Structure 1
């Protein structure tokens, strides 16, 4: 089993075209397209800080878990999903703060050194320590099988809960119901539109992606990380009076991507299986009469 997974990951690592598409779409096309979209939405009465929050969502890296879980549920290229989620998260530690400062405005007084040092201490260092410790307790972990899935879910719920508390306990928050409802619909619209866009591109004839690749591309390119996103926002915009409102769209986007992805799993799986069957039939040699 270990050898099989290792082989799959090695094969996925060589799929440079797929990785390039996912990372460019996630960290270049996504934020740029949202920026143009927000130029139109800025003419509406929607709360401007919620709109800025949408821009922060677009700058986030892919999540480590949800895209992989949904890809696996469909039966897609799980190894490619794992690689792109992990690689995108590492890339996001450097790229996301730069995108946030680029699209949301920055000045010469922005403490870049402080931002990256804090991100390094809160994200990179714990990850490195975890990998080192894991080497020494790997056998114990395999025997005991701690419920890491449940633990990570609890930690994620705590992050969401504390962020909601910070947001809605702020006495100066100016959040109207109209803007909040509209933002929820916009988030679902953005996800559906980008899922359709990545699907259409990855299934076009000249790309060379398999149906399993398409599944990984659709989920990895459109999902955004909350676990990395919230700490990044708190570090980059520390002390910012509108941080609470800016965080709201990301808090909505995360459960929305899981809900929408879960609903679409049966449909995507049905498409993938039928497409794989059709490709298999076309590749079978014809029997001479």
Structure 2
């Protein structure tokens, strides 16, 4: 029996929150502008390197299975939000609104990229389709996620078109396209140093998480919530994941009658949410919002929970062969 290894990145996330609580001075340096500039450059490099590693042939190979693609993207951008929408009319207080909105932000995000593909590989699913869906999800999210959030958020004087969409295009789409353009020349280098680039990605995410929580701690937004709130966040994450995972399983197996390989890809790509994209999107969607850290809580817990659960499920699929 294999020992389950604790993900060191999850531990690092928790350490960042503790660091933000006791030492918010790094965020306060130059009124937050210094850290913002560093993370902006870092995010652009993340997606540039992603473009370098993305093989056009792998994407092309996964194009044909359109029913699978529709289910994955439907689950990612429609099923998740639709599960949460019925609870919106029951919101009575500002705390309840923040709680619900933090979960809706999670629900509106794209799927993960690398971890989805890795899990599908372990479980022996449809790799070509997994690479295609994981790749296209982030690009769709640049358009769809802000549209969903705009329905329930008051952006005030924030220019959605100019600030949010242009910011996401500048930091995600343009670097990916540039990476794709240079992929024939630098693709082998990116593949050879994929582990080092992955560490760089995680370091940038940790900086964004630190900045968000430091801002929230400085503003005192967490003073209004207690342990009960955190317990409900955890319960909500578990229920949301299990419900969506179960619905995707039923649709892929009993309604669409997918093959075993396609079921695995639908389950692992459609039920996951990207902490990388969430960190970047939050920078633009929650600009000037003191409670940004509060909105990241469900996403961070979901990230840890999905890795834990899906790793176990992927290993079981692998053993069944």
Q: Name the TM tier (shorter chain).
A: 0.7 to 0.9
Q: What is the rounded CA distance, in whole Å, between the counterparts of 2:216 and 2:94 in structure 1?
A: 21
Q: Shift of residue 210 of structure 1?
A: 0.6
Q: How many residues align?
A: 265
Structure showing greater radius of gyration is: 1
What's the CA shift string for 1:165-208, capped at 9, x where partnerless? 3344432432211011111121012111211111111111x514
What's the CA shift string for 1:67-97, capped at 9, x where partnerless? 1111111111121111111111100001111
Provide TM-score, normalisation by structure 1.
Answer: 0.80
Q: Shift of residue 224 of structure 1?
A: 0.9
**Matched residue, 1:191:** 241
For structure 1, list consecutive stretches of 5 or more residues without a partner in the other structure: 274-289
| Change in 2 beyond 3 A, CA 1:10/1:36 | same
Q: What is the rounded CA distance, in whole Å, between the counterparts of 2:81 and 2:118 in structure 1?
A: 24
Provide TM-score, normalisation by structure 2.
Answer: 0.73
**Matched residue, 1:280:** none
| Change in 2 beyond 3 A, CA 1:17/1:71 | same
**Matched residue, 1:28:** 78
Q: What is the rounded CA distance, in whole Å, between the counterparts of 1:69 and 1:157 in structure 2?
A: 21
CA contact (8 A) 1:80 1:216 kept: yes
**Matched residue, 1:242:** 291
**Matched residue, 1:16:** 66
Q: What is the rounded CA distance, in whole Å, between the counterparts of 2:168 and 2:56 in structure 1?
A: 30
Q: Shift of residue 146 of structure 1?
A: 6.6
Q: What is the rounded CA distance, in whole Å, between the counterparts of 1:113 and 1:9 in structure 2?
A: 29
**Matched residue, 1:202:** 252
CA contact (8 A) 2:117 2:134 kept: yes
For structure 2, list consecutive stretches of 5 or more residues without a partner in the other structure: 1-54
What's the CA shift string for 1:113-147, capped at 9, x where partnerless? 22111111111122223233333334555667773
1:112 to 145, 160, 165: 160
Q: What is the rounded CA distance, in whole Å, between the counterparts of 1:123 and 1:199 in structure 2?
A: 31
2:313 to 264, 269, 282: 264
What's the CA shift string for 1:214-255, capped at 9, x where partnerless? 111111111111111122122122112333322221222212
Q: Shift of residue 9 of structure 1?
A: 4.7
Q: Shift of residue 43 of structure 1?
A: 6.4
Q: Shift of residue 11 of structure 1?
A: 4.1
| Change in 2 beyond 3 A, CA 1:146/1:43 | closer
SS at match of 1:13: coil
User: Pairwise mapping of residues 75-86 of structure 1 onto structure 2 (< 5 A)?
Assistant: 75-86=124-135
**Matched residue, 1:228:** 277
**Matched residue, 2:7:** none
Q: Shift of residue 270 of structure 1?
A: 4.7
CA contact (8 A) 1:56 1:246 kept: yes
SS at match of 2:133: helix
Q: Shift of residue 60 of structure 1?
A: 0.5
CA contact (8 A) 2:124 2:317 kept: no
| Change in 2 beyond 3 A, CA 1:245/1:88 | same
Q: What is the rounded CA distance, in whole Å, between the counterparts of 1:240 and 1:51 in structure 2?
A: 16
1:67 to 103, 112, 116: 116
Q: What is the rounded CA distance, in whole Å, between the counterparts of 1:185 and 1:21 in structure 2?
A: 26
Q: What is the rounded CA distance, in whole Å, between the counterparts of 2:256 and 2:150 in structure 1?
A: 33
2:303 is aligned with 1:254? yes
CA contact (8 A) 1:60 1:96 kept: yes
